[in-house]
Structure 1
Amino acid sequence: MPEATLPPVHTPTRALVLGSTSRYRKELLSRLGTAFSTDSPQVDETPRPGEAPADLARRLALAKAREVAQRHPEAVVIGSDQVADLHGEPLGKPGTHERAVAQLQRMRGQTVVFQTAVAVVCLATGFEQVDLAPVAVVFRDLGDAEIEHYLRIEQPYDCAGSAKSEGLGIALLERIDNDDPTALVGLPLIRTCRMIRAAGVPVL
């Protein structure tokens, strides 16, 4: 079977900036073969009291795009955020092994909705859009030993809900229900393509 290759890189007429330093989002955006740079957004990601996970993801994606756009006013800027939604409770990046264990123990046998938001902003043209790509994921009834084995191998401490589906994390799951296979990884490319085209960056 031939080895998959990325499309040749083309340079858009307006600069494209990914407002994220996430290696997962960078790898996803690279699939489009469009030249882009990255810039780290400086945004407080603390949830507001009573804020629903979907609203949190939307707000943060837009805040990240807007913040980075201040430094790149002529560019088309992409911001994104993902929040794991466990029955209305937001679960963020665990950061530590202990928190990851606790998250996965709570999620076993449950349906978790990964709320992945993407925003596109261009200050020069006044363009601004934000969209949400929810992904419903059913977790297997995981044993403690399975959780420990997974975490030792993947160490997904920078992933929302400790779930790294593009790696061994796929073995945690019973089912995935969504309309964009890239959304669970962290950047919904179908929506991103639509939005950057609308902002003036051709993809094809």
Structure 2
Amino acid sequence: MLPLILASSSPYRRELLARLHLPFDWASPDIDERRIDDEPAVDLVKRLAREKALALADRHPAHLIIGSDQVAVLGEQILGKPHTFDKACEQLLAASGNHVTFLTGVALLNSATGECQVDCVPFSVHMRDLDLPRIERYLRIEQPYDCAGSFKCEGLGVSLFQDTHGCDATSLIGLPLIRLVDMLIKEGVSVP
């Protein structure tokens, strides 16, 4: 088996990948994560997942490199990482009582052959009705400023959801393990 590299500095993605009990290293890719004008959200996350994997290919020429990216979509609006308290409040107020779809792009690059598998896994949530005091309490506790749409669902963020729909709950955290296992098997990796 080729060595595995996770092209991410996200501790959440590292924790998810560790669930597969496969040895891996990780490195932070240096890419421009800005959206191209009018780029559909699905295309955006697939492109960024691929670019993250490709960014490490020169340094890791005989590896399986995993890239992943996520956005939250509310109606036609793409919600990225808020970075600030005020932006997070704005995102969560807009999401209150609405459906939000998390789109997670995943790529598996075989840097020895150049073959790259890429997919997007959607996961929908229906948000509870949220008032400003509840949002502010959540933000003070979780500080989800590095999470798409201000949702840190592996923690207290799950309390903001009324219900969820999707085929892979791990995609909600940022790395769709079910789809990734399919990709690894296609590369000949034995996953317990």
TM over 0.5: yes
- The answer on 1:60 being equivalent to 2:48 is yes
CA separation in 2, counterparts of 1:61 and 1:89? 20
The residue aligned with 2:151 is: 163
**How far apart are residue 200 of structure 1 and its match?**
2.7
Question: CA contact under 8 A between 1:19 and 1:38: conserved in structure 2?
Answer: yes
- Give percent identity, aligned residues only: 49
Question: CA contact under 8 A between 1:25 and 1:187: conserved in structure 2?
Answer: yes
**How far apart are residue 73 of structure 1 and its match?**
1.3
**How far apart are residue 34 of structure 1 and its match?**
0.5
The residue aligned with 1:144 is: 132
CA separation in 2, counterparts of 1:34 and 1:28? 11
Please give the residue correspondences for 1:1-204 in structure 2 after superposition, counting only pairs within 5 Å. 13-204=1-192
**How far apart are residue 93 of structure 1 and its match?**
0.5
Give 2:125's aligned amino acid: V
Question: CA contact under 8 A between 1:52 and 1:88: conserved in structure 2?
Answer: no
Q: Flag structure 2 segments of 5+ consecutive residues without an equivalent.
A: none
Question: CA contact under 8 A between 2:107 and 2:119: conserved in structure 1?
Answer: yes
Displaced runs of 4+ in structure 1, greater than 4 A?
A: none
Cα RMSD (Å) of the superposition? Answer: 0.9
Instruction: Render the CA deviation track for 1:149-196: whole Å, top value 9, x for unaligned.
Output: 100111111100000111111110111100001110000000011111
Question: CA contact under 8 A between 2:52 and 2:68: conserved in structure 1?
Answer: yes
Instruction: Render the CA deviation track for 1:14-71: whole Å, top value 9, x for unaligned.
Output: 1000000100000000001100000111110000111111111111001101111221
SS at 1:69's partner residue?
coil
CA separation in 2, counterparts of 1:35 and 1:126? 21
TM-score of the two chains, using structure 2 as the length reference:
0.97
CA separation in 2, counterparts of 1:189 and 1:30? 10
**How far apart are residue 125 of structure 1 and its match?**
2.1
Q: How many residues align?
A: 192
Question: CA contact under 8 A between 1:52 and 1:90: conserved in structure 2?
Answer: no
The residue aligned with 1:10 is: none
SS at 2:34's partner residue?
coil
Give 2:147's aligned amino acid: C
CA separation in 1, counterparts of 2:189 and 2:26? 16
CA separation in 1, counterparts of 2:142 and 2:96? 17
SS at 1:58's partner residue?
helix
CA separation in 2, counterparts of 1:168 and 1:79? 26
Instruction: Render the CA deviation track for 1:111-143: whole Å, top value 9, x for unaligned.
Output: 111000100001212321001110111111101
Question: CA contact under 8 A between 1:53 and 1:89: conserved in structure 2?
Answer: no
